[in-house]
Amino acid sequence: MISLHNVTAGYGRTQIVDDVSVDLADGEVVALLGRNGMGKTTLLRALFGLCDVFAGTLSTDDGALPMGRPDGLARSGLSFMPDDRGVFASLTVEENLRLARRRGHTPPVDVLDVFPVLRQRLTQPAGQLSGGQKQQLGLARAMLAGERAVVVDEFSQGLQPSIATAALEALRTIAATGVTVLLVEQGPQLPLAFADRVLGMVKGRLVFDESVQRLRADPEPLTSLLVVG
């Protein structure tokens, strides 16, 4: 279990995330949805020390984790792919993957099978990849490093539908080993097909927390969340 408690965060004096608390179960695939500007990215960035955290704690069954300390979270087995993909442009694809590998941890998927284009471009600098290829490399790095949790911002950005589906199938395989998966996504289609639970965010607050099974039967709360009124 990974638990966020009363997280409030933003940038400088601007508060964007307002008192968010949520529990994420081991092996659960959770999608965080909401319109642009609702605080989804800021919440993830707060956890990994990429914005200002004004209040809140992060914990697991083993005790408190150092929220806002990306090095500490990495040592605890939490990985994060930010919306800029987090790849090292001057390093080759192979070097990017090698750096991401967590000692003593082998994920249950081969990322080069999930993303075949990376196998073809192992010796190419990551900065020369297309946007979609960088997205695949960022996802591969997150999968390699996430022994306890894989957190991804803007999951499907730049991905062809077939590649997005393959990546989600790989993440479900990873989750089946007990790894928590948290994805930010813009639309409802992929979460409703692959996630276990959907969190909805509006103006920095979580406004609903529903199982995908229930949302498939009654998608109205999700539709209301995402439609601009």
**For strand 180-184 and strand 14-24, is the pairing parallel, antiparallel, or unpaired?**
unpaired
The angle at the Cα of 216, spanning 210 to 219, to the nearest 5 degrees, equals 75
Query: Looking at the 3D structure of the chain, how many domains does it have?
Result: 1
- C-alpha pair distances (Å), 226 with each of 59, 153, 220: 30, 17, 10
Residue 78 has φ and ψ, to the nearest 5°, of -100, 130
Task: Name the stretches of the chain with pLDDT < 50.
Answer: 229
Q: How far is CA 6 from CA 9, 97, 195, 213, in A?
A: 10, 34, 24, 27
Does a structural domain hold residue 60? yes
172: domain CATH number is 3.40.50.300
pLDDT of residue 73: 83
122, part of any domain:
no
- pLDDT, residue 226, reads 79
CB 88 within 8 A of CB 96: yes
Report if residue 195 sits inside a domain: yes
Q: Contact, 17 vs 8, CB < 8 A?
A: yes
Q: Is residue 42 part of a domain?
A: yes
Flag whether 141 is in a domain. Answer: no
How far apart CA 205 and CA 142 sit, in angstroms, is 26
Residue type, 112: L
pLDDT of residue 228: 56
Quote the pLDDT of residue 49.
83
Residue 139 burial (CB count, 10 A) = 26
The pair of structure tokens assigned to 187 is: 């639309």
**Is residue 17 assigned to a domain?**
yes
pLDDT at 219: 84
- pLDDT value at residue 220: 82
Residue 112 lies in a domain: no
Q: Which contiguous run of DSSP H or E holds residue 205?
A: strand 205-211
> Alpha helix (H) ranges present in 15-160?
40-47, 70-75, 93-100, 111-114, 116-120, 131-145
Domain with 156 in it: 2-82+146-226
Quick check: is 36 in a domain?
yes
Note the pLDDT of residue 14.
Answer: 95
Q: Is 104 left (phi over 0), alpha (psi -120 to 50) or beta?
A: left
Query: Does the model's pTM come out above 0.85?
Result: yes
